[in-house]
Amino acid sequence: MRFLDEISVSGKRVLMRVDYNVPLKGDVIVDDNRIKQSLPTLQLALDQGASLVLCSHLGRPKGEPVPEFSLKPVAKHLSTLLGREVLMAPDCIGPEVLAMAQSLESGQVLLLENLRFHAGETKNDPDFSQALAALAEVYVNDAFGASHRAHASVVGVTEFMDVCCGGLLLKKEWQYLGQALKDPARPFVAIIGGAKVSSKLGILRALMDKVDSMIVGGAMANTFRKAQGFEVGTSLVEDDLLEDAMNIMVEARQKGVKFYLPVDFILGDNPKGGIASGVRTYQDIPAGEMILDTGPASHTLFSEVIRDAQTVIWNGPLGAFENPAFAQGSINLCRVVAAISGLTILGGGDTNVIVEQLKLADKFSFISTGGGSFLEFLEGKELPAFVALEKKS
- Measured CA to CA, the distance from residue 259 to residue 301 in angstroms comes to 12
Catalytic residue among 12, 13, 17, 34: 34
Catalytic residue among 363, 372, 381, 392: 372
Instruction: Say if CB 354 and CB 367 are below 8 A apart.
Output: no
Catalytic residue among 186, 196, 258, 381: 196
Based on the residue annotation, tell me whether 372 is a catalytic residue of this protein: yes
Catalytic residue among 2, 202, 349, 381: 349
Residues contacting residue 115 through CB under 8 Å, at least 6 positions apart: 55, 56, 57, 92, 121, 151, 152, 153
Instruction: Say if CB 45 and CB 104 are below 8 A apart.
Output: no
- Measured CA to CA, the distance from residue 258 to residue 236 in angstroms comes to 25
3-state secondary structure of 142: coil
Closest CA to 176 of 370, 389, 43: 370
The angle subtended at Cα 361 by Cα 264 and Cα 329, nearest 5°, is 10
Long-range pairs for 243-251: beta carbons < 8 A, 24 or more residues apart: 244/197, 244/201, 245/197, 248/201, 248/204, 248/205, 248/208, 248/224, 249/224, 251/205, 251/208
3-state secondary structure of 67: helix
- The confidence score (pLDDT) of residue 371 equals 80
- Measured CA to CA, the distance from residue 156 to residue 153 in angstroms comes to 6
Based on the residue annotation, tell me whether 217 is a catalytic residue of this protein: no
- Measured CA to CA, the distance from residue 321 to residue 319 in angstroms comes to 5
Architecture in CATH for domain 186-341: 3-Layer(aba) Sandwich (3.40)
**Digits of tens for pLDDT over the chain (393 positions)?**
899 999 999 999 999 999 999 989 889 998 888 899 999 999 999 999 999 999 999 999 999 999 999 999 999 999 999 999 999 999 999 999 999 999 999 999 999 999 999 999 999 999 999 999 999 999 999 999 999 999 999 999 999 999 999 999 999 998 888 877 788 999 999 999 988 888 888 889 999 999 999 999 999 999 999 999 999 999 999 999 999 999 999 999 999 999 999 999 999 988 888 788 899 999 999 998 999 999 999 999 999 999 999 999 999 999 999 999 999 999 999 999 999 999 999 987 788 889 988 999 999 998 888 888 888 888 888 899 999 999 998
Closest CA to 180 of 168, 166, 194, 191: 191
3-state secondary structure of 326: helix
Number of alpha helices (DSSP H) and beta strands (DSSP E) in the chain: 14, 17
Provide CATH 3.40.50.1260 ranges for the chain: 4-170+384-391, 186-341
- The confidence score (pLDDT) of residue 175 equals 87
Based on the residue annotation, tell me whether 34 is a catalytic residue of this protein: yes
- Measured CA to CA, the distance from residue 31 to residue 83 in angstroms comes to 19
- Measured CA to CA, the distance from residue 73 to residue 79 in angstroms comes to 10
Burial of 374 (0-12, 13-18, 19+ CB in 10 A): buried
3-state secondary structure of 23: coil
3-state secondary structure of 147: coil
Residue type at 232 in one-letter notation: V
4-170+384-391 folds as Rossmann fold (3.40.50)
Quote the pTM value: 0.87
